[in-house]
Copies of this chain bind each other. A is one copy, B any other.
C-alpha cells in the first residue's frame, strides 16, 4: 500500500514521456521494487489492467491507482513548527499530486508568526485547535522541538486531528484511534552507521 504512490509517480513520469504501455519490469525499476512485487501489488488491487505479453496500459493503471488511493477526496493537513524543517516540508510541493492540501503553518516564536511560507501566513500555535476543528483538518505534521511535540499533539487530537506525522525525536502517546508515523533523523542515521561499522 505504501508503494502505491511511487507506482503512480513512475506512471506519470512515463506518460509524460509519451509512453502508453509498459511492462512490470520497467515500472518496477522506476519505483525501486522487483517486477514480481509490482505485479503482486497491482493484482491485489482487483481491477486488472495488464496485458500478458505486452505489459500495462498506463492510463488504465493510473486510474486504478488513483482510485485505490482515493485521490479524488482531498485531505487537509497543517504543519506545526515553521523553522527550517517546517519550511522545507511546506515548500516541498510534491505532496500536491495525491489530493493533499496544506492549509496552515504554526509556530510559537514571534519571529516566525506573520512570516509567509509557501503562500501561507504563519499563525501562532494558540490558533491551532480552532483551525483544526473549523477546517476539518485531520493530519498534523510535527516539525517542532521534541519538548513541544507531545503538547502540540494533545491539542491537535483534542481538536479532532486523527493522523500525526512526527518529525521530532519525541515518542508520542495518542489514543487508540489516532495513527502516528514517525521519522527520526538520528535513528535513520544510526541504522546506516551500524551498516558502516559492520563492514
Contact = CB atoms under 8 A, between A and B. Distances in A.
A6 interface: yes
Contact of A165 (B70, B85, B163, B192): B192
A94 interface: yes
Contacts of A40: none
Nearest to A141: B189
A131 B106 CA distance: 38
What interface size band does chain A fall in? 35 or more
Interface stretch (A108-116, A119-127, A177-185): A177-185
Contacts of A141: 189
30 contacts: A4-B190, A5-B184, A5-B187, A6-B171, A30-B171, A31-B171, A32-B172, A69-B194, A70-B193, A73-B197, A75-B197, A77-B193, A83-B88, A84-B88, A84-B91, A92-B186, A94-B169, A95-B186, A95-B189, A100-B189, A138-B196, A138-B199, A139-B196, A141-B189, A162-B195, A162-B199, A163-B192, A163-B193, A163-B195, A179-B195
